[in-house]
Amino acid sequence: MTKSLHTAYWFLLLCVVLQSCGVDARLKRADKEYAIGEYFSAGKIYQSVYANMDYRRRQLRASAAFRQGECNRLDNQPSKAANAYLAAIRNKYGDDIVYLRDAEVLQQAGNYAAAINNYKTYLKGHPDDQLAKNGLAGCQQAAAEAKLHPTFEIKYAGQFNSRNSSDYCPAFTDAEADALVFTSTRPGATNRKPSAITGFSQGDLYISEKNVAGQWEKPRPMDGGFNTDLDEGTPSFTQDGRTIYFTRCPAANGQNLGAQIYMASRSGGQWTEPQPVVLFKDSTITAAHPAISAHGDTLYFVSDAPGGFGEKDIWMSVREDGKWATPQDMGAQINTAGNEMFPFAAPDGSLYFSSNGHAGLGGLDIYHAVKTKDGWNVIHMPMPINSNADDFGITFKYGRLEGFFSSNRGNSRGYDHIWSFEQPVNEYVLSGFVADNHKQRLGDAIVRMVGTDGTNARIRVKKDGTFRFSLRPNADYVFLATCRGYLNEASKLSTQGVKESKAYALNFSLIPIGKPVELENIFYDFGKWTLTKESETSLNALVKILKDNPNITIELDSHTDRVGTAAFNQTLSEKRAQSVVDYLIQAGISADRLTAKGFGSSQPVTVDAALAKKYPFLKEGVSLDDTLINALTPDQQAIANQINRRTEFRVIKTTYGLQ
């Protein structure tokens, strides 16, 4: 019995030793693959080691979990990375960098509240860390950006994308924008095993062209010597479409040797054999993601060359005497301690690129850098172009805010896909009609429009009196409606600051010349001539008519009902007419353009079609005199008296102030 126990003890000890040796060996293998950038395969080993490691080796478990998180983060699996970093934190990982890394992947997963907590934890020990400060600012601005009205519309570009593969970094082949080249990991172009770096198949260049109907054709591998057993992608073309630059990742003995930029040219439709572009004397320096300027004289690219600001920076080189000059780092206004990648050189000299170092929504975000006298002004592209996922590889139609970009948003497996975007042109449309004061349309009216945008138009309305104008953004307009035999009417409208399409309605009601026009809603105190507050709206409308028509003079006529003596009603009406004149004078109208007259109850109303329609007991053409009113019921008499009580105006002259 004692001998058996002794044997079991040594057997268990041997198992522990062997297991420990096995764990250490696998960790060394994982560390080696991690060092050469094979994050996918290294991450799987770290995950296995962590899961099977003795709980008593807490420090080593924490290290394995952190390294797994790093592999998952670099391999674009933020959710898995967040779980691994959490395991490292629980096992008391000794470097607080884990809080920064966890914050970054939580931000990329859209968990801004948790990301903010981790950024703040890290900043306690590193208050000057710009990467952490930018990350915190990005989380805090995400909620504010989500409330803004989107200035771009995006759509999933299914005509280019494949299932269970990545499609990304689109580029128009020339200024015509009728052919698109992009990177794809779909099977079919070349047969290769999955990349040890990403776990996905390596990329090839595919092309899609528009047919005669303007529809995109099914993508196919690019002709020529572009696609090999190596990894190719990130194309960029000169504006004339005759030169292409792209990235190829060479390998030797199964080992990744970084990335290198290649170029090819064509004439007559055939591409030359791609040749490497020599940018650094040291051939071991990685150069990738080329972006050639429109005329081919400046090359922007991504490199981890010494002298940069972070992990990967954007560099540039100028072509001099047929050779590329010594590359220059783009500087601290563009590059950060993080990664700046996937540049696009716009024809106007500005630069678009992606970064996870500037303040953003998470992962890689797209930025627009505009050249200024002091360097570069870097602008974060708004939602929905940017999201908490990776957004990168943008390309534009020449001279338009429209094109395609790449994103892995909404894809749990991390596949990148191509999306379209455009900035809708806001439409500002004005429509309306011109009618008289009885709402009868005036088919021979004219509407004049003058705008601060230079517009000066004179439009005759349609037979039904309607009109329609297209307006421009950020402009002020003045309109004047005219018609023979009627007073002019003016109006104003502005599109200043209007960010969305909008339909405007503007209707004109013209006053006839020489005919009495009732001023509606003119009220006086009972038995008096004092105007009430409720009368101001109608009186101010009359002020506007007089100012719109500065060459007219008018007569103000006041009428009473039959209640009271004739003498009393005559005096009351005269004073009421004068009260209106006094109001107009106080509003700035010259007294010599105004005449007040009172008629008491001597001019009862003659019923027109509108009154007859409104009050069926009244017949069109009859006068509301004593004889008719006496024959009505008491309620009908009250209505007739109310109709007779009125203030009118009519145009006397149209030549005031003219020689």
The tens digit of pLDDT for each residue in 577-592 reads 999 999 999 999 999 9
Angle between helix 78-90 and helix 39-52 axes, rounded to 10 deg: 40
Q: Which of 69-78, 292-301, 370-379 has the lowest mean pLDDT?
A: 69-78
Angle at 583 between CA 577 and CA 588, to 5 degrees: 130
Q: What confidence score (pLDDT) does residue 19 get?
A: 47
pLDDT at 366: 97
Interatomic CA distance for residues 480 and 468, integer angstroms: 14
Burial class (CB in 10 A: 0-12, 13-18, 19+), 183: buried
Radius of gyration of the chain (CA): 40
Task: Give residue 126's pLDDT band: very low, low, confident or very high (50, 70, 90).
Answer: very high
Give tens-digit pLDDT for 498-557: 988 899 999 999 988 878 888 888 888 777 888 888 888 889 988 988 988 888 898 999
Which residue type sits at 267?
A: S
* Burial (0-12, 13-18, 19+ Cβ within 10 Å), 518: middle
pLDDT of residue 21 exceeding 60, the answer is: no
Structure token pair of residue 128: 């000057």
Cα 599 from chain centre: 64
If we measure between CA atoms, which residue out of 160, 217, 161, 230 comes closest to residue 189? 230
What average pLDDT score do residues 108-136 get? Answer: 93
What's the rounded Cα separation, in Å, for the pair 182 and 417?
10
Angle at 65 between CA 62 and CA 71, to 5 degrees: 145
> Could you tell me the pTM of the whole model?
0.68
344 has a pLDDT exceeding 80:
yes
Q: Is the pLDDT assigned to residue 402 strictly greater than 60? A: yes
Question: ω into residue 384 within 30 of 0, thus cis?
Answer: yes
CB 293 within 8 A of CB 345: yes
Residue 243: exposure state from Cβ atoms within 10 A (0-12, 13-18, ≥19): middle
Residues whose CB falls within 8 Å of the CB of residue 641, separated by 6 or more in sequence, listed in order: 561, 562, 563, 629
Residue 395 pLDDT > 50: yes
